[in-house]
Structure 1
Amino acid sequence: MTSQDGLLIVGEDLCKQLVGRQQAVDAVQSVFGAMASGGAWNFPVVREALGYADALYGFKSGFDREGQVLGVKSGGYWPGNAEKNLTNHQSTVFLFDPDTGQLSALVGGNYLTAVRTAASSAVSIAHLARQDSKVLGMVGAGHQSAFQLRAAAEQRAFEKVVAWNPHPDMLPRLATVAEEIGLQFEAVSQQELGAQADVIITITSAFEPLLMNDWIKPGTHLACMGTDTKGKQEVDPALVAAATVFTDEVAQSVTIGEAQHAINSGAVSQDQITPIGAVINGDHPGRTSEDEITLFDGTGVGLQDLAVASVAARLADEAGLAQRAAL
């Protein structure tokens, strides 16, 4: 995609129309594989507190040589947006022509951030969860949780969803989604969730462990998706240490991901953490036993955003649906 015909503008509604869950899973899986083989890489993340509106703001960027995608996602987290009927996470993706550096597309990033995050955990479930997994555990019931539930449900023949949230009044959102896709739903305690679930997704903004090591049964796969900043935490560091750990990017996992606390205590070393792309490419076996606990540390990398934004831009261009503006 070049900018010869003007700047392509793909808004939020068009992204929702064009990019479905499977397209997001395919794009994210491909870029994880490219990262592991050295064909794509992320640039250092900039993420700062604004000191205004309690907002966090930053940039995630990278280059996928294999997919010929170059760009940056600009945005952040505004916790007060829910009261304004806006999504807390706000972002826009800028895509550039790798051959010239010219800006080629502006793509709305809010929906794509949600769908690519769900795709990331779904990829981990597809490659690491036991084939006979029947119960899906959900820790967290915010905006992102519905995306996570729908994407996860397509990876295994789940029969039931068990869920816990710090604010129980938010759980009906997940119950409705579970009903729509034909799954039983039960609100449970954290301990009961660990006792029942074969696969667990954590998707909160917590700064303390919500799941303890002793609560998790052998053979569980966990996708820890909420920790993407220094200090944040969703699970017991002893659980990270007990699990076989995979991640989107090791550098982020050990500094801002779920693994940061186990790394800082010395319970886990960096070389014990494997990029999920190595499993996708067949260079790592992934799960090696039915009793093994596997954990995916989903920190969220810029290349995920660029991958799904590139799909949105290409599809919009091919269908003639996007706006164009002169540079």
Structure 2
Amino acid sequence: MLQKPDTDGLVIVTEEICQKVIDRDLAFAAVRDVFGAMARGDAYNFPVIREAIGHEDALYGFKSGFDKAGMVLGVKAGGYWPNNMAKGIINHQSTVFLFDPDTGKLKALVGGNYLTAIRTAASSAVSIDQLARKDAKVLGMVGAGHQSTFQLRAAVEQRDFEKVVCWNPHPDMIPNLGKVAAEIGIPFEAVSREELGAQSDVIITITSAFEPLIEAGYIKPGTHLACMGTDTKGKQEVAAELVAKATLFTDEVAQSTTIGETQHAIASGAITQDDVTPIGKVINGDHPGRTSDDEITLFDGTGVGLQDLAVAAVAAEQAVATGAATRVSL
């Protein structure tokens, strides 16, 4: 919970400060706790606004919500600028605005780029912690872009993985992820999609695909998939047949079934909303999660505003506590 500062004014936490005060452990705890609060009905997201602005091929929008348990209220504004990499900056750009729930006053502005990356990785890590087999040894990465490096670092902390295998639509990007694996000290291999499915006990998909990259026949029994790239109507990373075959979990059911990975299986009638369980129910002990070693589990990580607000609130609290935040009088 963002503690009220001793003096009035706006707290500003820059991207640089966020990287200093928020690590993977803090992000993991914040995301896990807010998923639990959502499942209890103590926190809820507001409808997402996401629009193509007709300039630079950009998507821009707002994700917001209120966590009554943590007393965190706010909105993340930002989006995806696909041409940014050519300009030397990352494609995803965002800022989080936090408000005092008691008064409505703006209390903090927090850089959202690093936090978006680390909270997305924390989300898949929570799903691995809760749903993957305890003896999982091979991690499969589908995607090798900027976000994949965060995903890899967070995932390997959840199980004793002995190897990472990777496939990416653009093979020239794979060595960048291989460098991160080398830094961690885990063997890394680029493989075909079929071989990735055959080897992997856990698979993270983190692409911007609009067609299935992983077919049901690629996956062996007992695999856990964390599908993290689909967050817009029309996007898709895995075959609807695979979605229908798996036991399904998500951050938020309404978002999953409309803009997440389950949207296509829903549209075909292969599954219904009742087949998708909020992962917060597993965290709270209200759902058993995985029930057998042969079960295929799938977490649809669509990315909800409350994740951003949760980590931003912790970042603001940590920045205030350490004296790293900037204060501006309103």
With the length of structure 1 as denominator, give the TM-score of the two structures.
0.99
Q: For 1:312 and 1:243, how far apart are their aligned partners in 2?
A: 35
For residues 140-174 of structure 1, what are the alpha-carbon distances to aligned partners after superposition, in whole Å with 9 as ceiling and x for unaligned?
Answer: 00000000000000000000000000010000111
1:181 is matched with: 184
The answer to whether residue 265 in structure 2 is matched with residue 262 in structure 1 is yes
The answer to whether residue 44 in structure 2 is matched with residue 41 in structure 1 is yes
SS for the counterpart of 2:114 is helix
Q: For 1:321 and 1:238, how far apart are their aligned partners in 2?
A: 49
For residues 248-277 of structure 1, what are the alpha-carbon distances to aligned partners after superposition, in whole Å with 9 as ceiling and x for unaligned?
Answer: 000000000000000000001100100000
Q: For 1:321 and 1:209, how far apart are their aligned partners in 2?
A: 44
1:139 is aligned with what amino acid? V
1:128 aligned residue (98, 120, 131): 131
SS for the counterpart of 1:295 is strand
Structure 1 unaligned blocks of 5 or more: none
Q: Percent identity?
A: 74
1:294 is matched with: 297
1:160 aligned residue (158, 163, 170): 163
Matched ranges for 1:195-234 at <5 A: 195-234=198-237
Give 1:2 deviation, angstroms.
3.7
Q: CA RMSD in A?
A: 0.6
Q: For 2:272 and 2:255, how far apart are their aligned partners in 1?
A: 14
SS for the counterpart of 1:23 is helix
2:189 is aligned with what amino acid? E
2:150 aligned residue (141, 147, 151): 147
Q: For 1:5 and 1:180, how far apart are their aligned partners in 2?
A: 44
SS for the counterpart of 2:83 is helix
2:59 aligned residue (47, 56, 61): 56
For residues 273-318 of structure 1, what are the alpha-carbon distances to aligned partners after superposition, in whole Å with 9 as ceiling and x for unaligned?
Answer: 0000000000000000000000000000000000000000000001
Structure 2 unaligned blocks of 5 or more: none
Q: For 1:166 and 1:112, how far apart are their aligned partners in 2?
A: 26
2:221 is aligned with what amino acid? P
Aligned length: 327
2:129 is aligned with what amino acid? A
For residues 36-75 of structure 1, what are the alpha-carbon distances to aligned partners after superposition, in whole Å with 9 as ceiling and x for unaligned?
Answer: 0000000000000001100000000000000010000000
Q: For 2:245 and 2:169, how far apart are their aligned partners in 1?
A: 25
Give 1:182 deviation, angstroms.
1.3
The answer to whether residue 94 in structure 2 is matched with residue 91 in structure 1 is yes
Q: For 1:87 and 1:228, how far apart are their aligned partners in 2?
A: 18
2:301 is aligned with what amino acid? G
1:68 aligned residue (68, 71, 75): 71
2:264 is aligned with what amino acid? H
Q: For 1:77 and 1:55, how far apart are their aligned partners in 2?
A: 6
